[in-house]
């Protein structure tokens, strides 16, 4: 089981920018916690961060056939990027949208996610713990998919 974590613009500035909204934890620390949980769960995990929309689209497309699911915090592109939404839809991998802050309690433009309709779910507002919740949810989704495939294979035998 392999999970691709994709981080969008300005997330490389966590721990520095707007600590009153995003907290003091750095992205590397979030990734360390996710890696520790993945190791405990027997899951392979890979991390990618870019400030460029096209690079995020490329990474989503490159995930096809390589990973089982995607956890994405597209940051500001959540509210503007049809290209990222189309890429998620195209690869048809289970995808969970994550936000550190509660986007629904912020400015009006942040309340609309173009990604939510093509994702399995959205987790927001729990600070860095949002990523842990996304990991738990993704592992559950992937285990359910595996169970269904196993049942289909047994029926075909």
Q: How far apart are CA 46 and CA 10, in angstroms?
A: 19
Of 22, 31, 77, 79, the active-site residue reads 22
CA 10, 43, 15 angle in degrees (round to 5)? Answer: 25
Q: How far apart are CA 49 and CA 72, in angstroms?
A: 10
Of 31, 77, 79, 99, the active-site residue reads 99
| Token output for 145 | 């998919």
The question of whether 99 is a catalytic residue gets the answer yes
Tell me, letter by letter, the H, E, C secondary structure of 35-101.
Answer: HHHHHHHCCEEEEEECCCHHHHHHHHHHCCCCCCEEEEECHHHHHCCHHHHHHHHHHCCCEEEEECC
Q: How would you list the strands of the sheet with 44-49, edge to edge?
A: 44-49, 2-7, 69-73, 95-99, 121-124
The question of whether 79 is a catalytic residue gets the answer no
Q: Catalytic residue numbers?
A: 22, 99
């Amino acid at each position: 089981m392999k999970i691709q974590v994709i981080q969008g613009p300005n997330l490389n500035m966590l721990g520095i920018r707007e600590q009153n909204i995003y907290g003091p934890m750095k992205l590397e620390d979030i990734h360390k916690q996710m890696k520790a949980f993945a190791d405990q769960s027997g899951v392979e995990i890979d991390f990618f961060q870019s400030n460029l929309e096209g690079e995020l689209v490329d990474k989503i497309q490159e995930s096809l056939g390589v990973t089982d699911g995607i956890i994405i915090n597209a940051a500001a592109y959540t509210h503007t990027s049809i290209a990222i939404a189309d890429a998620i839809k195209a690869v048809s991998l289970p995808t969970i949208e994550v936000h550190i802050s509660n986007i629904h309690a912020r400015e009006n433009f942040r309340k609309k996610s173009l990604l939510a309709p093509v994702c399995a779910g959205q987790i927001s507002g729990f600070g860095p713990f949002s990523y842990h919740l996304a990991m738990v949810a993704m592992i559950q989704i992937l285990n359910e998919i595996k169970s269904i495939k196993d049942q289909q294979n047994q029926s075909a035998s």
